[in-house]
């Protein structure tokens, strides 16, 4: 389960309003940014909030062979949240994840970005429910 989890909050996005309000435009962008660095989409679900006449944001997820990408938009706040996790089991996908995340951030053109990176799976030899490993204890 070794991997890299990237999380970003984008504020004051200066992109075209359509990217924040149109689920289909958001889907196309997400699939495009996954393809460029070599991530492998295996499924996608996107949902449009509001109506065609009065769109109110979109949310979507791309299931990747390497794990997932989730994006949520708030057009009334000109804000977006991104969540991209890649597994590094058979190869290190960290560079591809970072490249996809950077492309997404650039597409939304935020005035402010809050980013977090979490390396996952660092607990070598620890299994959930292992009685020798106490919750929160240093190993």
Q: Are 58 and 21 in contact (CB under 8 A)?
A: yes
Question: Among the options 47, 67, 90, 101, which is catalytic?
Answer: 67
CA 48 vs. chain centroid, Å, equals 18
Q: Which fold has domain 3-65+76-120?
A: 3.60.90
Strand partners, 70: 61, 83
Quick one: pLDDT at residue 123? 55
pLDDT in tens, 82-115: 999 999 888 899 999 999 999 999 999 999 999 9
Quick one: pLDDT at residue 120? 87
d(CA 11, CA 75): 10
Quick one: pLDDT at residue 36? 83
Question: Among the options 5, 11, 68, 72, which is catalytic?
Answer: 72
11 has catalytic annotation:
no
Quick one: pLDDT at residue 37? 85
Strand partners, 81: 9, 72
Across 128-138, b (16+ Cβ under 10 Å) vs e yields eeeeeeeeeee
pTM of the complete model: 0.83
67 has catalytic annotation:
yes
For the chain, residues with pLDDT lower than 50 are: 124-139
72 has catalytic annotation:
yes
């Amino acid at each position: 389960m070794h991997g890299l989890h990237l999380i970003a909050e984008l504020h004051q996005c200066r992109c075209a309003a359509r990217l924040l309000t149109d689920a289909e435009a958001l889907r196309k962008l997400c699939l495009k940014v996954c393809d460029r660095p070599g991530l492998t989409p295996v499924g996608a679900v996107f949902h449009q909030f509001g109506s065609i006449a009065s769109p109110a944001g979109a949310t979507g997820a791309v299931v990747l062979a390497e794990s997932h990408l989730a994006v949520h938009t708030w057009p009334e706040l000109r804000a977006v949240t991104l969540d991209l996790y890649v597994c590094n089991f058979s190869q290190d996908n960290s560079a591809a994840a970072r490249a996809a995340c950077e492309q997404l951030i650039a597409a939304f053109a935020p005035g402010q970005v809050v980013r977090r990176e979490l390396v996952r799976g660092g607990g070598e030899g620890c299994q959930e429910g292992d009685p020798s490993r106490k919750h929160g204890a240093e190993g």
